[in-house]
Structure 1
């Protein structure tokens, strides 16, 4: 991924990221994956949790991918999770304003991971792109395979 030693940082156009996460059953053992592309450089990341939820794995994938970037970047992050995309682009401002309470006044679910994701996103300029899962997007399908493999290897 991008480093400070690149000859022309202004030419560093875009880091493309695809993320996925899931569990089976939900809740249960879960896996997450991220694929990061910067020019000709590509990195795959995966992880596992023994007891978790689909939403936690989706959030973890996005946060881990952004945390892997070594300097502020322009990012196109692709996710098939409407929960992640809506939370980061619409809902989080209200949660923060209400001291991490949802519309019903209850604590926001997965608050620890939402805070982690917001912190990881701060240095970057991110376009959050939703892609339909299991609909033929090659990179989304690849992230799904990696997340499933991560879940199955250690389940």
Structure 2
């Protein structure tokens, strides 16, 4: 089984620079990127999408995230949304629709199963902490105007949320997992089911922040 930790960062939610990252537990490969403006939800969902895209094949993929929103969008609520024509239980459009649909396609097209596991953030989990650090550094890069202008872009959501285009940073070589306490610099990576649906809560999804 491939295990990958993902995380997203938004320096000022909403509207600040965002960063996303994933890091593989075996081998320490990682990737990160961001955008000049966005939300934490866009960052978290983009991290999940990029992790799935970077790990094709038949081997089971387990994604660990501290974002219940990202996990539930990707594995629980999505089935109900599809049955309702991409509407929530209240009848409103699904937020971040294009990202959610892209994750659904990535999971469906992947040969092996994709599973998700929630982990509590900021409690010393080394891979969650590395992903958080990488996402934060990527967001800082975009805030400082150091984003990768030539990177591939994910189109903005058509659901009326005015979400930003989210750029993907491509890098070329594997990187080891840093030693505890070391400063992580996002410099290198090598891009490479579901649980039973749960009842969708009635509160507005846009109010859930991790």
TM range (shorter): 0.7 to 0.9
Q: Aligned in 2, Cα 1:37/1:137: closer, same or farther, shift over 3 Å?
A: closer
- Name the TM-score, length of structure 1 as normaliser: 0.86
Distance in 2 separating the partners of 1:70 and 1:117: 13
Q: TM-score, normalised by structure 2?
A: 0.64
Alpha-carbon distance between aligned partners in 1 of 2:56 and 2:73, rounded to the nearest angstrom: 24
Partner of residue 11, structure 2:
24
Gaps of 5+ in 2: 144-210
C-alpha separation between the residues in 2 aligned to 1:86 and 1:62? 12
The equivalences for 1:36-51 within 5 A come to 36-38=24-26, 41-51=27-37
1:41-69 Cα distance to aligned partner (Å, 9 max, x none): 33110011111100110000010011012
User: Deviation at 1:87?
Assistant: 1.7
Q: Within 5 A, what are the aligned runs for 1:82-101?
A: 82-101=68-87
The structure whose residues are more often strand, as a share, is 1
The total of aligned residue pairs comes to 140
The alpha-carbon distance between structure 1 residues 127 and 70, as it changes in their structure 2 partners (threshold 3 A), is: closer
Moved over 6 A (4+): none
* Structure 1 unpaired stretches of 5+: 1-13
Deviation at 1:146, TM superposition (A): 0.3
User: Which structure has more helix as a fraction of its residues?
Assistant: 1
Residue-by-residue CA offset, 1:23-56 (whole Å, 9 max, x unaligned): 0100111000001244xx3311001111110011
Taking the aligned partners of 2:5 and 2:50, their CA distance within structure 1 comes to: 12
Moved more, 25-34 or 80-89: 80-89
Aligned partner of 1:126 in structure 2 is: 114
Q: In the alignment, is the contact (CA less than 8 A) between 2:25 and 2:127 conserved in 1?
A: no
> Which residue of the partner structure matches residue 35 of structure 1?
23
Whole-angstrom distance in 2 between the partners of 1:56 and 1:17? 18
